Chain A
Amino acid sequence: MKEDTLSDVDTKSENYVPGHTTVQEALGYINAHLPDLKVKLLSSKRGEILVEHSIKGEVLTRLKEEGFDHFAALSCIDMIDDDRIQLVYHVWSYGSKGHILVKTELPRKDPSTDTVYRIYRPAITYEREIKEMFGVDFPGNPRLTQFILEDWEGPPPMLKDFDTEAYAVEHFGIARRDLPSKPPQPKKGGES
């Protein structure tokens, strides 16, 4: 893989112009193009779009065209009661200073959805973390390598049904009830 570097940055054609579409206009625009979406205006600066995960890329592309160029975060929530995993894409417009949350849901079993890193570059790292912590696969993301969990064999730890105590007992052989009430005192005399 070729390393992309700063020298690829075109310093000549530098003229960043933030887009000025407001949240309301953007939501209206999205609704006009994709009428069966659930769109909600939360406040003058905040909007919410619920999409099927297969078309979220299209929605995000349109939002970016409308000036929502800052990808603030990608949150993942394990909705265990609904047997769903929710992904929330937070985008922000520097021009109109509006925030739109694009929410999409995946089945809890073998969750997988396309990467959006080609639309929003910062997603590459968020997806990498979510893959590790929630087990959501993002086909197309080139950096889904080991991130934080080193030598991890258990299930994704941020899922709601991950039993931390059972994992500790299994891997370290000690449960909370077995812990001495007082910390063990160091033995006197001589270091080992």
Chain B
Amino acid sequence: MDDFRSTEIIFGPQHPGIHGNFAMRLELEGDMVRRARLVPGYLHRAFEKLMERRTWHQNIALVPRICVPDPDVNEAAYSMAIENIMGLEVPRRGNYIRSIVLELSRLAAHLMGLGGLGGAIGLYTLPMWTNGERDYVLDLFEALTGGRVYHMYTWPGGVRWDMPENWPRKALKVMDHIEAQLPSYYSLFFESKVTDARLKGLAPITTSWAVEHGVTGPNLRATGLEVDLRRDDPYAAYEELDFDVITLKQGDGMARALVRWYEVGQSIRIIRDAIEKMPGGPVIAKTPPPLAFMVPPGDHYAHVESSKGEYGYYVISKGGKYPYRVHVRGPSFTHGIDVLEKMLVNQELADVALITGGLDVCPPDIDR
């Protein structure tokens, strides 16, 4: 490439438009990106290595740190893998509470992600509002688990303790509140001409391209393929809960945003349904105490549908107190590097933050 025609911009990690702790090296010709290279690694904490040296339960405190906006999927997938190797049966009530926690987490993550989109086009009112609602969800988490951002609540065998008595009522109240606010957010963001101009037809992808490149979750559903691990490979209590899998056809930035938008409504529906159908009984299976907790040799790949895509944990045990190896498959590992490098090419610089935010890339998934 001609040296005098292109400018190189290092977009991040210190850049207001970057979606977390990674960097992009963009080669620009005028306003157009001709080449994008992603540079991860600013947040690498070697979790996979650390987990080999901590007991099965100590790792519960470690895994949620991998994904900040949506931490509960980590605990759930990790616990599910262990349960499968051990042959543990989670009590029904435990599964229901897990579903509620996972949906609350998805709700919070989607609200934050939509706010990020607002930030990327400069509509700062939206992130302020949605993050305000997210705070109510965090309040619910605090009342349930004691932690706001990281919860360490899901546990191999179930959940750590039962819900407080008035918690379901509080949760329903927050759900009612968020649902009442949703129309105003819709008209603020999706009914705006500017959003239309920015998001419609932005970096469209087709289903076959998406499947080929390992795109999962809402981004794949935005291309029209009806896939959702909650339905395809049911875990927790999703088999018994009532919800729709949202799909849209266009596969562009608008569709990706709208799928997330509708999933907020579905999460509220699932939470209400789960609270209504909540069975009695214990919340955790009988397991050995943490210090004597041994997992028989075996391996299992457990995956869950996170707010960003497929989250998988491949856990290998050789018996004993520590995992032999844990491999974490984060959705952004594909979205954030290979897919993004392709999608950014021939887009304007102005759209870089919007495309990254639209894919909901979470760099800690890469740097785990």
Would you call A121 and B346 a contact (CB within 8 A)? Answer: no
Tell yes or no: B329 within 8 A of A by CB. yes
Would you call B325 and A94 a contact (CB within 8 A)? Answer: no
Would you call B312 and A73 a contact (CB within 8 A)? Answer: yes
Complex CA distance for A121 and B216, rounded to whole angstroms: 14
Complex CA distance for A121 and B214, rounded to whole angstroms: 7
A155-174: contact bitstring with B at CB < 8 Å (1 yes, 0 no)?
00110100010000000000
Complex CA distance for A115 and B43, rounded to whole angstroms: 27
Would you call A16 and B214 a contact (CB within 8 A)? Answer: no
Would you call B314 and A7 a contact (CB within 8 A)? Answer: no
Q: CB within 8 Å of B: which of A103-151? A: 120-122, 124-126, 147-150
Tell yes or no: A90 within 8 A of B by CB. yes
Would you call A126 and B333 a contact (CB within 8 A)? Answer: yes
Would you call A69 and B232 a contact (CB within 8 A)? Answer: no
B222-248: contact bitstring with A at CB < 8 Å (1 yes, 0 no)?
000101000011000000000000000
Tell yes or no: B293 within 8 A of A by CB. no
Partner of B206, one of A9, A72, A148, A160: A9
Tell yes or no: A54 within 8 A of B by CB. no
Complex CA distance for A148 and B363, rounded to whole angstroms: 12
Q: CB within 8 Å of A: which of B269-302? A: 301
Complex CA distance for A77 and B297, rounded to whole angstroms: 14
> What residues on B are CB-neighbors of A7 within 8 Å?
346
Tell yes or no: B160 within 8 A of A by CB. no
Question: How many B residues are at the interface, by size bracket?
Answer: 35 or more
Complex CA distance for A149 and B40, rounded to whole angstroms: 9
Tell yes or no: A26 within 8 A of B by CB. no
Say how far B8's CB is from chain A's closest CB, in angstroms: 15
Tell yes or no: B310 within 8 A of A by CB. yes
- Residue ID in chain B nearest A150 by CB atoms: B41
Complex CA distance for A93 and B342, rounded to whole angstroms: 24
- Residue ID in chain B nearest A123 by CB atoms: B214
Complex CA distance for A160 and B53, rounded to whole angstroms: 11
Partner of B233, one of A4, A14, A97, A160: A97
Would you call A14 and B207 a contact (CB within 8 A)? Answer: yes
Evaluate whether A147 and B40 lie within 8 angstroms (CB atoms) in the complex, with A5-B346, A76-B327, A94-B225 already known. yes
Stretch binding the partner chain, chosen from B44-52, B65-73, B127-135, B174-182: B44-52
Complex CA distance for A4 and B46, rounded to whole angstroms: 32
Tell yes or no: B209 within 8 A of A by CB. yes
Name 25 A/B residue pairs within 8 A (Cβ), A-sorted. A4-B342, A6-B203, A6-B205, A9-B206, A9-B209, A10-B206, A14-B207, A16-B206, A72-B214, A72-B301, A72-B312, A73-B329, A88-B314, A90-B312, A94-B211, A94-B225, A97-B233, A101-B301, A120-B214, A121-B212, A122-B214, A125-B338, A126-B333, A158-B48, A160-B52
Q: Return the 3 tightest CB-CB contacts between A and B, nearest first.
A: A122-B214, A148-B41, A16-B207
